[in-house]
Each structure stands twice: as structure tokens, then as C-alpha cells.
Structure 1
Amino acid sequence: MKTWTVITVCCSLFLAGCTSVEPWVKPYERAHLADPIMNFQRNPVSSAYMTHVYQAREAARGAEGGHGGGCGCN
């Protein structure tokens, strides 16, 4: 009886991974997330200056992440 229970639990765990994943954000809610008020930075000029200061302290360009296209020009 114990092996039957173990087999049933294992099969249910394996089959639970076959379910489809729904998107967390519905299409009609995406407009609210794209609203400028949802931006983390209140003042873009101030955040650009603080990014510059952070890069100068780290002594490397792109210390917070990379930007740019695929052409190799920065």
C-alpha cells in the first residue's frame, strides 16, 4: 500500500508540470504598467547624473548594465 501511495504522489507531481502557464499580466493591464507614473525614477536628469557618479566610483563604464545596439558603437 505504501508503494502505491508513493507511485501516485510521484505521478501527480510529474503530471502537474504539464499544465500550461498563463501570463501574469493580462493584456488589458499592460497599459497601466506602461504609464509614466510607474517609472522608478522621478527625475530623469537626476537619475542620469547619479548613474554617471556611480560609474565614476566603479571606475568602469556600464557599471549598472549595458546599453546600445548591435553595431558596436557607443
Structure 2
Amino acid sequence: MKTVHGLSLLVLTLALSACAQIGAKPWQRGTLARADMQLDADPIQTKLDEHIYFSKEASSGGRGFGGGGCGCN
């Protein structure tokens, strides 16, 4: 029983220490802020594509804007 408690404590310690390195360091933030490091290279084109997609799907809401299938909202 003592071995099980010791093993579970070891696993818990390793699991918690694995979360300590999440996130970017202050000196890495400049690199991540560059335009070529963004998820969408052209944000205007991405917004236009999202608007067309949700207008054609006749959905309301979805990505932060309402409207129906007409595409006028």
C-alpha cells in the first residue's frame, strides 16, 4: 500500500511539473508577434470568407455576427 501511495505521488508530481513550461517567454513574444507568424496571413480575406460561408449556410451567430441567409447583416 505504501508503494502505491509513493507511486501515485510521483506520477502527480510529474504531471504537475509538466504544466510549468506552458506559454511563451518574454523574449519569444517579439517573434510570435510578427505578421508572418500569425494564423491567418490575410485577416481581411479571412473575415470575408467567414462572412460568405455563414451567409450561404443561413446560420445565425457562429462567429460573432448574426444574420440570415441573405448576407445583408
With the length of structure 1 as denominator, give the TM-score of the two structures.
Answer: 0.58
Tell whether 2:1 aligns with 1:13.
Answer: no
Unaligned runs of 5+ in 1: 68-74
Unaligned runs of 5+ in 2: 66-73
* CA deviation vs aligned residue, 1:33-66 (integer Å, no higher than 9, x gap): 1111112333333222211111112213432x22
Tell me how far apart the structure 1 counterparts of residues 44 and 28 of structure 2 sit (CA, whole Å). 29
Question: How far apart are 1:18 and its partner, in Å?
Answer: 5.7
Counterpart for residue 48 of structure 1: 47
Letter in 1 for 2:4: V
Q: Would you tell me which structure has more helix in proportion to its own residues?
A: 2
Tell me how far apart the structure 1 counterparts of residues 41 and 9 of structure 2 sit (CA, whole Å). 51
Query: Of the two structures, which has the highest relative contact order with CA contacts closer than 8 Å and spacing of 6 or more?
Result: 2
Letter in 1 for 2:55: A
| Sequence identity (%) | 24
